[in-house]
Structure 1
Amino acid sequence: MGLPALDNLLRIGQLKAEPRNEIEVKRMLAMAQTRLIDAQLVSLSTEGRFTSAYNAAHAAALAALRWHGYRSENRYTVFQCLTHTLSWPASRWRVLDAAHQKRNLAEYEGFLEVEESSISELCALVTDHIADVTKLTGM
């Protein structure tokens, strides 16, 4: 494929290889941008804003992975791969991993405690994230 670390994940079944689909990548980026806008709507609940910001991050991370010719059904893996797809240091993608853990608590246990400052931090990171994917893809 092209990225040795991702090829290793492919070999152990954590990723699937799929040819790049620029239309799909473009749609994912558009979805990320729309969800980021939603996350910044003060008329939404705190939970709704958090979920929108998280979903924006996931869509952008998946767009980067798809750009490189891979797909994953595991949300954590999609964020973890940002080290390779966008050359993000662990300190950046781990913020998204923390959001993923909060999202899982909300989805599977019905518990979400999130502060306004966390949503603001997540939105700022997602803004940079979308910009990095846009730069990578030229879209």
Structure 2
Amino acid sequence: MTTLDNLVRIGKLKPFPPNRGEFEQLLGLARTLLDTVASSSGMATESQFILAYDAAHAASRAALRAHGYRSDDRYLVFQCLEHTIGWPTGKWRVLDTCHRRRNAAEYEGNIDLPASLTAELVRLTAELIGTVSQLEHLLPSS
């Protein structure tokens, strides 16, 4: 039994048949959001952070969908990257840190989003999108 199957057993993930359309939609959203960051010079760091975070989240959800799972927990999709695309702990933990910073900004008004963290988030999100796009072979044909 895999770690992802164990997460299903304890109710953290839900099994869903892999779906090419949903995978492509999520990955397309991730690319669009990240392209917006790249093409908008002068955009506030906070805006870059939120767009890149949302892109990383969409790509992480696409990775889960390619493997036949869904999650209702935003943070869990990042933690599952170790099992869906083989990312080492150091990479997905940056996304987990960004998740906590995003929540602090959104729910507590604590906007502590350093430019260096935003730059790392943008870089990792681009890498994530590239890696997740390679999962297409796991999906059924259209």
Fold shared by both chains (TM-score > 0.5): yes
Gaps of 5+ in 1: none
Report the equivalent of 2:89: 90
> Aligned-residue CA RMSD in angstroms?
1.4
Report the equivalent of 1:6: 4
Question: CA-to-partner distance for each residue in 1:6-31, whole Å, 9 max, x for gaps?
Answer: 00000000000111110010000000
Q: Which moved more, 1:77-86 or 1:44-53?
A: 44-53
Higher relative contact order (CA closer than 8 Å, sequence separation 6+): 2
**What is the Cα deviation at residue 82 of structure 1?**
0.3
Equivalent residues in 2 for 1:64-75 (5 A)? 64-75=63-74
Superposition TM-score, scaled by structure 2 size? 0.91
Report the equivalent of 2:32: 34
Report the equivalent of 1:17: 15
Report the equivalent of 1:112: 111
Q: Give me the whole-angstrom Cα distance separating, in 1, the residues matched to 2:72 and 2:37.
A: 24
Runs of 4+ in 1 over 3 A off after TM superposition: none
**What is the Cα deviation at residue 38 of structure 1?**
1.9
Q: Give me the whole-angstrom Cα distance separating, in 1, the residues matched to 2:95 and 2:74.
A: 10
**What is the Cα deviation at residue 44 of structure 1?**
2.4
Contact 1:36 1:123 in 2 (8 A): yes
Gaps of 5+ in 2: none
Contact 1:39 1:51 in 2 (8 A): no
Contact 1:33 1:130 in 2 (8 A): yes
**What is the Cα deviation at residue 65 of structure 1?**
0.2
Query: Alignment length, in residue pairs?
Result: 137
2:65 aligned counterpart, secondary structure:
helix
Question: CA-to-partner distance for each residue in 1:27-67, whole Å, 9 max, x for gaps?
Answer: 00000001111223223222111000000000000000011
Q: Give me the whole-angstrom Cα distance separating, in 2, the residues matched to 1:10 and 1:74.
A: 13
Percent identical among aligned pairs is 48
